[in-house]
Amino acid sequence: MSIRLGLIGVEDNLEWIQSVVKEYSEFECIPFLHFYEKDVISILEAHSHKVDMWLFSGIFPYSVAEKWGRVQKPMFYVPYTGTSLYKTLYRILYHHHLDINQLSFDALKTSELKQIFEELDIDDSSSHLYEEPKSIEDVVEYHEQLWKKGETSAAVTCAWQVQKELEKRGVPVFRVKHTKSAVTSVLNEALKTQEMLRFKDRQIAVQIFEMDLFSSMSISSFSSDEMYDMEIKNTQKLLKYAKRIQGSLKTVSPGCYVIFTTRGELSDITDNFSVIPNLDEIQDITKGNITCGIGIGPSAYDAEMMARNALLQARKHGKENWMVAFDNKTFKGPLGKKESLTYSYNDKDMQVISERTSLSVATISKIDSILSKMGRSEITCQDLATKLQILPRSARRIMSQLEKSGYAEEIGEETPHPRGRPRKVYRVLLRGTVR
């Protein structure tokens, strides 16, 4: 089966990169033309289901997708290698006779640029480089300001949009273009990644279902025959579900079932472990009080142990929740919920903080995940309690432990309601604090 490769590029390189991709029989190339940064997100949103992985023509559209943070398929971009720059520099130095120190560069690595200058025996002490561009506008502004101040006589860019905009503003500009070797190199990397993913998809996955269909009624209102009949019906539904995901079903005890399958099958039906599957085979069952733990591991035994750990975590969130435990010692869930988190219980930094605060690694990792998801380091105890689904006093105890150990500090107060009591706002710093 061909790998569906979504290629996002600009008009002056899309067709050329596509011609190189066509040399690989493993790929089915699906090209998408973009002009502005906002186009990239629109393409990703509309066509993600059509591709297996994404290839961007350069770092700019790739950075937009990375910053957006919602792409679940593998992403690659064609880098601008030393060979690409050599060709451009040759034209600048020998045809236009410009001073190398009067140039500004973007989207290249400092180490790469330095190495090229050394090989050409050129002093790079005055070179200007925007190494990690945030946006096209920022890069254009960077080049234009240097030129206006007289610090540079021309710009060297890797982006077609930057070239066009600088030309409009009258700034002399040269464009670094891709080489075929750069494209083939990234395509080979994509093939290796696909092979790794196939191996990953073949990993053993175990799903443990724990049902409590009698919680809202008295068991005494059922005869033993009726209870047995209900058990048989649930088993039949789960057998259909197991067949749907190419797995095998084992009954552990009344109301407890284990299904052995593969990671790839479960990843497909849960949208990469983000939602509870909406399948006809288990639709009636998932409406009941069912808790589920999914485990991924290199062996059936390891996967089952991970599934039991996931089930324990799911129980902490209450019935009808699904959690996943991966073989890299991380949990994810509850699936399909706004408070869903991905957190590790084997992170070395979090283990150090755990030892210093007496808080569990899981708790600290959850807080780290919450802050990452929020995109800021400030939080109140009330918000922490809501997101961790714990009592406010428990959240205050956790924050107190972090504050005493130097991982949190009170920075102010907020009043959510006109007549409400002010809430303390804390800044929590976990990453980069461990020494």
Domain 82-177: CATH architecture, name and number where available: 3-Layer(aba) Sandwich (3.40)
- Contact present, 156 and 37 (Cβ < 8 Å): no
Domain 3-77+188-198 fold is Rossmann fold (3.40.50)
Instruction: For 20-75, write each residue's pLDDT tens digit.
Output: 999 999 999 999 998 877 899 999 999 998 999 999 998 888 988 988 888 989 99
Whether domain 344-428 has CATH 3.40.50.10800: no
At residue 329, the pLDDT reads 85
User: Before 334, cis peptide (omega within 30)?
Assistant: yes
How many angstroms separate the CA atoms of 312 and 187, rounded?
Answer: 42
Residue 340 bridge partners (DSSP)? none
- Contact present, 203 and 297 (Cβ < 8 Å): yes
Provide CATH 1.10.10.10 ranges for the chain.
Answer: 344-428
Instruction: For 232-246, write each residue's pLDDT tens digit.
Output: 888 888 899 999 999
- Contact present, 302 and 205 (Cβ < 8 Å): no
**Local structure of residue 416 (DSSP, 8 states):** S
> Which residues lie closer than 8 Å to 418 by C-beta, 6 or more apart?
none
Whether domain 202-337 has CATH 3.30.70.270: yes
Provide CATH 3.30.70.270 ranges for the chain.
Answer: 202-337
Instruction: For 115-152, write each residue's pLDDT tens digit.
Output: 877 777 776 655 688 877 667 888 999 999 999 999 99
Q: How confident is the model at residue 435 (pLDDT cuts 50, 70, 90)?
A: very low
**What is the residue-averaged pLDDT of the chain?**
86
Residue 429 bridge partners (DSSP)? none
Residue 258 bridge partners (DSSP)? 208, 250
Instruction: For 77-115, write each residue's pLDDT tens digit.
Output: 998 776 778 878 888 888 888 888 889 998 777 777 778
Provide CATH 3.40.50.10660 ranges for the chain.
Answer: 82-177
- Contact present, 339 and 321 (Cβ < 8 Å): no
